[in-house]
């Protein structure tokens, strides 16, 4: 029903089932806000999945070596998953709060300053800086040869704020990925 109604003039208030074809989708894909949201969602998904899979596999291989205190480490790595998403969000918001000129640094930035590493201060989730691939780099030259030189623009890239969100989400879910990999590794017979 949803697929059919998306091809009609129905606007959820008046049930008008006059077919308009793909006009609604054409309009949707020309809205800048939708394209920005789609890009951010795809970027987050790719970074989050890659980080969780890599870190989870690394932790599982580490724990599969039958190290001492394995149960303790397994619990420590799984603990973030047991915490509510709301609580986790509040804690990460506090940790990554860059502070203001009136209040000074807070969270991780305060820690950097106390350790004498003030140059590492970062706006975390408030920083509009875009990390991009420079055109004069090896990767940039390769993309240009492939006809994808537009990807080297300073306007195309990953927001540093996005990286902060990926770090927080990866921290919470990489333990679960570790548990799944560990179960799989333990299920493989020693003869193989």
Confidence (pLDDT) at 188:
79
Are 11 and 98 found together in one domain? no
Are 111 and 169 found together in one domain? yes
Are 112 and 171 found together in one domain? yes
The DSSP 8-state label assigned to residue 159 in this structure reads: E
Are 3 and 66 found together in one domain? no
- Backbone φ and ψ for 116, nearest 5 degrees, come out as 80, 20
Global pTM value: 0.70
Confidence (pLDDT) at 23:
87
Q: How far apart are CA 37 and CA 53, in angstroms?
A: 24
Q: Please count the structural domains in the chain.
A: 2
DSSP string of 69-98, one letter each residue: THHHHHHHHHHHHHS-HHHHHHHHHHHH--
- Enclosing domain of residue 21: 1-30
Question: What's the CATH number where 60 sits?
Answer: 1.10.3720.10
- State pLDDT tens for residues 137-175: 777 777 777 776 665 565 566 777 788 888 889 998 998
């Amino acid at each position: 029903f949803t697929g059919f109604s998306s091809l009609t003039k129905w606007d959820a208030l008046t049930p008008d089932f006059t077919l308009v074809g793909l006009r609604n989708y054409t309009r949707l894909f020309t809205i800048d806000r939708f394209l920005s949201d789609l890009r951010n969602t795809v970027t987050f998904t790719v970074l989050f999945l890659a980080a969780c899979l890599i870190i989870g596999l690394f932790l599982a291989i580490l724990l599969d070596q039958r190290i001492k205190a394995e149960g303790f480490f397994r619990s420590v790595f799984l603990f973030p998953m047991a915490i509510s998403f709301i609580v986790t969000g509040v804690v990460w918001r506090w940790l990554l709060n860059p502070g203001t000129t009136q209040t000074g640094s807070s969270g991780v930035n305060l820690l950097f300053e106390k350790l004498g590493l003030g140059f590492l201060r970062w706006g975390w989730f408030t920083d509009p800086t875009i990390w991009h691939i420079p055109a004069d780099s090896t990767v940039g030259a390769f993309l240009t040869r492939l006809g994808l030189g537009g990807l080297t623009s300073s306007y195309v890239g990953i927001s540093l704020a996005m990286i902060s969100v990926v770090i927080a989400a990866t921290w919470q879910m990489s333990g679960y990925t570790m548990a799944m990999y560990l179960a799989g590794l333990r299920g493989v017979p020693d003869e193989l």
